Amino acid sequence: MSFKHDKEYRHPFENDPFGVIWTAFRNLWPDADCTVGWDGGIRDEHGEPVAGSTVFEDGVVPHVAVNPSLEVWDATEVLAHELAHVAVGIDEQHGEKWRAAFDAIHVEYDRLVQEEHSDGEMQTKETHGVKLNGGAKP
Ligand SMILES: [Zn+2]
């Protein structure tokens, strides 16, 4: 599924790891740019499904795609992986510069999360749980 939108959607999560990764990326490379989307159909050169990809095309900002079938934490890691590619460019592959960029995103991510937590712990007074299979707890 793919769609274009021209308005910015707000997301409801207060602790959205994708937002933190994106902020880390923008803090580290304010001039780097890309589009990011979920794409369940991304495949490698052999036609096998992959977790993420970055497409570099002349004259267009790179496009990062992340497979929505991943667990949230895995998808967060994949987004960081792909944004490191955007930061250093396609020629770098998974070389030293890419590794340094990937590590820098993690360090900045941790700093941002730490900063957030130092603002005070959130108190939860009442919770409503939903089981992993989608059913509500009694
Ligand atoms: Zn890669």
Domains observed in the chain: 29-116 (3.30.2010)
Please tell me the distance between residue 88's alpha carbon and the centre of ligand 1 in angstroms: 11
Q: HSE, CB side, 13 Å, CA atoms: give it for residue 75.
A: 19
pLDDT, position 81:
97
Ligand 1 center to 115 CA (angstroms)? 29
Element housing 56 (H / E):
strand 52-57
| Residues 62, 29: Cα–Cα separation, whole Å | 14
Using an 8 Å Cβ cutoff, are 26 and 45 in contact?
Answer: no
- CA–centroid distance, 59 to ligand 1, in Å, is 21
Kindly state the tokens that stand for 75. 């998808």
The CA distances from residue 116 to 27, 37, 84, 112, in Å, are: 15, 26, 23, 6
Please tell me the distance between residue 36's alpha carbon and the centre of ligand 1 in angstroms. Answer: 15
Residue 90 Cα to ligand 1 middle (Å): 9
Global pTM value: 0.82
Quote the pLDDT of residue 125.
62
pLDDT digit of tens for each residue in the chain (138 aa)? 445 566 777 878 888 999 999 999 999 999 999 999 999 999 988 999 999 999 999 999 999 999 999 999 999 999 999 999 999 998 999 999 999 999 999 999 999 999 887 765 555 567 677 777 665 544
Note the pLDDT of residue 2.
Answer: 46
